[in-house]
Amino acid sequence: MVFSSLIFLYVFLPLVIVVYFISPKMLRNTILLLASLFFYAWGEPKYVLLMMLSIVLNYVLGIVIENTASQSKRKTLLWLVIVSNLAILGYYKYAGFFVEIVNNYLTQPIEWQAVPLPIGISFYTFQALSYVIDVYRKDVKAQRNFLDLSLFITLFPQLVAGPIVRYQTVAEQIKKRIATAEDWMIGTRRFVQGLAKKVLIANPMGEVADHVFSLSGGDLTTGTAWIGILAYSLQIYFDFSGYSDMAIGLARIFGFKFEENFNYPYIAQSVTDFWRRWHISLSSWFRDYVYFPLGGSRVSHEWKLYRNLLVVWTLTGFWHGASWTFMAWGFYYGILICLEKWVLLKWLARIPRIVRHMYILMIVMIGWVFFRANDFTYAFSFIKTMFGLSDAALYNYETILLTKDYALYFVIAIIFAMPIYKLYQTWSEQKAAASLSFDWGLRITQSIYYGALLLFITMFLVNATHNPFIYFRF
Amino acid sequence: MRKIQTYLLPITFFCIIFGGFVVHILTVDRQQSEMENRPLESANITPSAKEILTGTWSKQVESYISDQFPARDTWMRNYVNFQRVVGKTYLNDKYAVDDKTGWIISKPAAVKPEEELAAFASDLQRLSEGLAEKHIPFTFYSLPAKATYSREPSPSYMPEDAGIANNVKLHELVTAAGVDNIRLYDEMQENFSAERNFFKTDHHWTIRGAYSGYEALIHTLNKRLGETIATIPFDEANTFCLPNKFAGSWNKILYMTVDNNEQICYNEPASFATQFTIYDGTIEGGVTAPYEAVYGRAKQMSPDAIVNYADAYSRDFAELTIVNQNYDSDKHLVVIKDSYFNTIQFHVASHFKTVTILDLRYLEKDIIHYLQNIQPDYVILAYNDRNLKLMPE
């Protein structure tokens, strides 16, 4: 089920809210768990069993690891759980890719029937792994209550597209949480903001990007290519950060407080800074569970630091999907971060802020070409057209039509990609805290604004033809 | 500290989503969307285990919620209005509207791949050769479509519509395939006027455009049949228009947001009401239908009713057999047609002893074998020139 759908907004969510809040507190986790399983089973019922298998595996091995005194046995068990989790993920996500590679070297190719990717498998697998690794590291106690661990992994706000929530973050909240009126207000506001990002900005930008990336080489002009990649850059940001906002907002309505997943990445001034602001939960997962165990930056030789960075970023790319373009995309960032660590950051510090912004935007947009393209040939051809290195014309009617029809969306998207609204929100909340009359005015205005925004979004949803979340396929 | 005003936003939010749910439950489901011209999803309250496990049922429910969402047409209409306010060139990615004149213009068509046109030409060749086995002559007619000939006002930066180029290329391929063919536009060029021949808000031709088409069709058929049929002259004084508001097909896609003063008009001799015996199907089937029930049903509708093209002229029958008591030619003509022909089917039928009208979208028969069996004197296939497949869209 998709948050930005009529069935979620006008059937599932109101029913879950009613049932949850009229139920006694002791039943609320069970209700949330059942709702989450229903939410997941809605589109792909059979994959609930796969998720349950993953939960049982991690539940049992988490307890076993905790109860095992011998360090070597604990380590063996940890590897068992890591391999088991990755085997499930690998079968569904990566097997076809590897079979294809192996088949290139075989005279008798291996027959492989492609399997559909269970939705959210990359997210819940990483979430489950973090739990068991934390148990192994003795950072958390193993969860003895199966329902509570199941709720941690399946909680519907973050189940299918993150953020990747750490067990440490919510362990206490699963046991005991209070959803106050302020939580409801903040959660509602955040949810509607995320919904607006997705429906009012990401979807129209997606229309542009899909159209441009479907153009054949002859129809693609330099101007159209730039419009297309700008649209995709905005689409992926508003799509994913919108989903994260909705997840964080929904969780808050039920009393959970999740960590932030985005922090205005397009205002970054370096690649390093960008990745501190983009998909924070994934970057920090790789930092804590791959980069640090590899030695991180505390290494005997400098080359090991660069090796570690390249490994982590290539894996980050590969996490997104089983293709060479995703790996190249990750490796591309690995190289850039290595360069920044080596010398670039010092240079960047000396140049004007605006140039640093231009630098990062250019880097990111080129990166998105690899992310969006199906293969390298298309990606390189697209980049050549962007920079006028192909025979493509400067512009054509598509360029004019897209500019004219979507200029308003681009302007709105660019404004909201900057923390202007956040500054206003911080200012208004501070003022409301100091003045009761301002507080009343603000709450009334907010209610009207967000209510109207919700109705406006509904108008788009009734007409929706383009609604999938990009990160659902990861 | 809990403050009462903090509840305002969550309560507003909850009232909207829960209110939407309650209204949805209380609203009576609709069977059909008049605007979208399609049946709406109904509730499947007894899904099978297989439907649930395969996810088919969840998709049905999502379609049901979307199709039966309270005030769906109003939301859709507002969305079109929103697109107009923000200056979208092609509303719903299909049509540009000239608010001054009320003309709706389609997005330019791209050049069709030659394989696609060749496939249609090949189908026509197969049909022609199948009929030739039984010595039944065949001609393919393309009728000028509004989308092809009504292009103004289009944005200056947009490319030319490829409709004419596609049509010309198709006829070249059909000629090369040895199939007799007529571009009816070539026969209608004199005084051809898009403003006169086509509706502003619908994709069909007006009675005036259709009449020009009818005259050109009979003129070309005369040559092929060796007849000297005189067409019924268009008599302005004989034109009768309905007071009803017209629901043009393109305007319906735009949720009737384009104001227009278009009218449904007729130009037919009074004798049409009595001179035909009309069979809904074959003569052997014996199911007859009165003329008023087939042609111009809108004449019986309330003046307040909004009328579409099908109500105005004729809906699409799979097979209609028209037997004429007052004919010029005793021949049996078969017309394989799309909705463009509906306007003039009785005008054409008024000259022949028998006319069989077939619509392949609904006819469940092997067309070549069927025509070989009924042995008509002549077969024509008359599609508007945007239809580039034997099975029209």
| DSSP states along B82-132 | HHHHTT-SSBTTTEEEETTTTEEEEPPPPPPPHHHHHHHHHHHHHHHHHHH
Asked if residue A123 and residue A50 are part of one domain, the reply reads yes
Asked if residue A146 and residue A196 are part of one domain, the reply reads no
Tens-place pLDDT, residues A280-309: 999 999 899 988 888 887 878 888 888 888
Mean pLDDT of A460-467: 80
Distance, in Å, from the CA atom of A378 to the CA atom of B352, rounded to the nearest integer, reads 60
Distance from CA of B113 to the nearest CA of A (A): 14
Residue B14 inside a domain? The answer is no
Asked if residue B357 and residue B303 are part of one domain, the reply reads yes
Cβ contact A401–B17 (<8 Å): no
Which residue, B40, B70, B100, sits at the end of a domain?
B70
Mean pLDDT of A320-347: 87
pLDDT in tens, chain B (393 residues): 458 899 999 999 999 999 999 999 999 999 988 888 888 988 888 888 888 888 889 989 999 999 999 999 999 999 999 999 999 999 988 999 998 889 999 999 999 999 999 999 999 999 999 999 999 999 999 999 999 999 888 888 998 999 999 999 999 999 999 999 999 999 998 878 999 999 999 999 999 999 999 999 999 999 999 999 999 988 888 888 999 999 999 999 999 999 888 999 999 888 998 999 999 999 999 999 999 999 999 999 999 999 999 999 999 999 999 999 999 999 999 999 999 999 999 999 999 999 999 999 999 999 999 999 999 999 999 999 999 999 877
Residue B154 inside a domain? The answer is yes
User: Which of B17, B40, B59 is the best residue to mutate to test the A interface, defined by the most A CB atoms within 10 Å of its own CB?
Assistant: B17
Question: With left for phi above 0 and alpha for psi between -120 and 50, is residue A328 left, alpha or beta?
Answer: alpha
Distance, in Å, from the CA atom of A209 to the CA atom of A201, rounded to the nearest integer, reads 12
Residue A346 inside a domain? The answer is yes
Residue A444 inside a domain? The answer is no
Distance from CA of A358 to the nearest CA of B (A): 30
Q: Peptide bond preceding A419: is omega within 30 degrees of 0, i.e. cis? A: no
Residue A469 inside a domain? The answer is no
Chain A residues in contact with B43 (beta carbon < 8 A): none
Q: Which residue has the higher pLDDT, A97 or B242?
A: B242
CB A311 within 8 A of CB A293: no
Cβ contact B158–A408 (<8 Å): no
Asked if residue A205 and residue A145 are part of one domain, the reply reads no
Distance, in Å, from the CA atom of B27 to the CA atom of A10, rounded to the nearest integer, reads 14
Residue A445 inside a domain? The answer is no
* The dihedral sign for the CA sequence B119, B121, B124, B130: negative
Asked if residue B125 and residue B221 are part of one domain, the reply reads yes
E strand or H helix at B208: helix B207-225
Q: How many domains does chain A contain in total?
A: 2
Catalytic one of A211, A279, A301, A320: A320
Residue B103 inside a domain? The answer is no
Whether the complex's predicted ipTM is more than 0.90 is answered with no
Cβ contact B8–A447 (<8 Å): yes
Residue B96 inside a domain? The answer is no
Mean pLDDT of A380-388: 92
Asked if residue A193 and residue A172 are part of one domain, the reply reads no
Closest by Cα among B95, B304, B348, B74 to B202 = B95
Asked if residue A319 and residue A392 are part of one domain, the reply reads yes
Asked if residue A361 and residue A255 are part of one domain, the reply reads yes
Question: With left for phi above 0 and alpha for psi between -120 and 50, is residue A220 left, alpha or beta?
Answer: beta
Question: What is the structure's pLDDT at A115?
Answer: 83
Residue B38 inside a domain? The answer is yes
User: Which are the contacts of B317, defined by CB distance < 8 A and separation ≥ 6?
Assistant: B280, B294, B357, B359, B362
Residue A284 inside a domain? The answer is yes
Question: What is the structure's pLDDT at A473?
Answer: 62
CA distances from B302 to B252, B273, B366 (A): 20, 20, 40
Distance from CA of A235 to the nearest CA of B (A): 19
The pair phi, psi for residue B105, each rounded to 5°, is -120, 135
- What is the pairing mode between strands B265-266 and B240-241? antiparallel
Asked if residue A95 and residue A153 are part of one domain, the reply reads yes
Distance, in Å, from the CA atom of B42 to the CA atom of B64, rounded to the nearest integer, reads 6
CB B266 within 8 A of CB B345: no
B45 CB-contact burial (10 Å; exposed 0-12 / middle 13-18 / buried 19+): exposed
Closest by Cα among A385, A372, A429 to A224 = A385
Closest by Cα among B57, B66, B43, B68 to A41 = B57
Residue A464 inside a domain? The answer is no
Distance, in Å, from the CA atom of A413 to the CA atom of A213, rounded to the nearest integer, reads 20
Chain B residues in contact with A44 (beta carbon < 8 A): 55
Among A42, A184, A404, the residue with its CB nearest the CB of B89 is A404
Chain B residues in contact with A411 (beta carbon < 8 A): none
Domain range for B119 is 108-384
CA A86 distance to own-chain centroid: 19
Question: What is the structure's pLDDT at B297?
Answer: 94
CA A120 distance to own-chain centroid: 10
Residue B99 inside a domain? The answer is no
Retrieve residue A299's tokens.
Answer: 């290494």
CB A166 within 8 A of CB A130: yes
Tens-place pLDDT, residues A173-199: 998 888 899 999 999 999 999 999 999
Check if A301 is active-site. Answer: no
Cβ contact A13–B13 (<8 Å): no
Alpha helices in A43-136 (DSSP H): 47-67, 71-93, 95-103, 121-136
Asked if residue B326 and residue B199 are part of one domain, the reply reads yes
Distance, in Å, from the CA atom of A436 to the CA atom of B52, rounded to the nearest integer, reads 52
CB A323 within 8 A of CB A97: yes
Confidence class for position A104, pLDDT limits 50, 70, 90: confident
Asked if residue B25 and residue B173 are part of one domain, the reply reads no
* The dihedral sign for the CA sequence A15, A18, A24, A25: positive
Cβ contact B21–A7 (<8 Å): no
Asked if residue B281 and residue B153 are part of one domain, the reply reads yes
Which residue, A416, A437, A465, sits at the end of a domain?
A416
DSSP letters spanning A364-414: HHHHHHHHH-SSHHHHHHHHHHHTT-SS--S--HHHHHHHHHHHHHHHHHH
Distance from CA of B42 to the nearest CA of A (A): 15
Number of neighbours of residue B188 by Cβ within 10 angstroms? 20
CB B323 within 8 A of CB B357: no
Residue A396 inside a domain? The answer is yes
Question: What is the structure's pLDDT at B393?
Answer: 74
* The dihedral sign for the CA sequence A443, A445, A449, A451: positive
- What is the pairing mode between strands B329-337 and B319-324? unpaired
Cβ contact B9–A13 (<8 Å): no
Asked if residue B113 and residue B28 are part of one domain, the reply reads no
CB A221 within 8 A of CB A399: yes
Confidence class for position A472, pLDDT limits 50, 70, 90: low
Distance, in Å, from the CA atom of A173 to the CA atom of A447, rounded to the nearest integer, reads 28
Question: What is the structure's pLDDT at B15?
Answer: 95
Asked if residue B181 and residue B32 are part of one domain, the reply reads no
Question: What is the structure's pLDDT at A465?
Answer: 66
Asked if residue B112 and residue B59 are part of one domain, the reply reads no
Cβ contact B76–A5 (<8 Å): no
Asked if residue B366 and residue B239 are part of one domain, the reply reads yes
Distance from CA of A310 to the nearest CA of B (A): 41
Asked if residue B374 and residue B255 are part of one domain, the reply reads yes
Asked if residue A206 and residue A172 are part of one domain, the reply reads no
* The dihedral sign for the CA sequence B212, B215, B218, B221: negative
Asked if residue A349 and residue A327 are part of one domain, the reply reads yes
Cβ contact A10–B21 (<8 Å): yes
Number of neighbours of residue B281 by Cβ within 10 angstroms? 16
The answer to whether residue A10 scores a pLDDT higher than 80 is yes
Which residues are registered as beta bridge partners of B177? none
Asked if residue A206 and residue A139 are part of one domain, the reply reads no
E strand or H helix at A438: helix A436-462
Among B2, B7, B13, the residue with its CB nearest the CB of A454 is B13
Mean pLDDT of A361-367: 93
Domain range for A204 is 184-416
Mean pLDDT of A407-421: 96
Q: How many domains does chain B contain in total?
A: 2
Closest by Cα among A222, A266, A82, A244 to A160 = A244
Question: What is the structure's pLDDT at B150?
Answer: 92
Asked if residue A325 and residue A189 are part of one domain, the reply reads yes
Residue A105 inside a domain? The answer is yes
Half-sphere exposure in the Cβ direction for B288 (13 Å, CA): 7
Closest by Cα among A249, A265, A275 to A333 = A275
CB B213 within 8 A of CB B188: yes
Residue B351 inside a domain? The answer is yes
Chain A residues in contact with B20 (beta carbon < 8 A): 9-10, 14, 458
Tens-place pLDDT, residues A446-462: 999 999 999 999 999 99
Distance, in Å, from the CA atom of B182 to the CA atom of B267, rounded to the nearest integer, reads 25
The answer to whether residue A160 scores a pLDDT higher than 80 is no
Closest by Cα among A474, A276, A433, A238 to A360 = A276
Tens-place pLDDT, residues A114-133: 888 888 888 899 999 999 99
Chain A residues in contact with B2 (beta carbon < 8 A): 180-182
Which residues are registered as beta bridge partners of B280? B320
Residue B306 inside a domain? The answer is yes
Asked if residue A70 and residue A37 are part of one domain, the reply reads yes
Chain B residues in contact with A13 (beta carbon < 8 A): 17
Counting runs of H as helices and runs of E as strands, what totals does chain B give?
16, 13
Retrieve residue B206's tokens.
Answer: 């007006």
Retrieve residue B178's tokens.
Answer: 């040895």
Distance, in Å, from the CA atom of B230 to the CA atom of B21, rounded to the nearest integer, reads 63
Closest by Cα among B94, B123, B140, B366 to B252 = B94
The answer to whether residue A162 scores a pLDDT higher than 80 is no
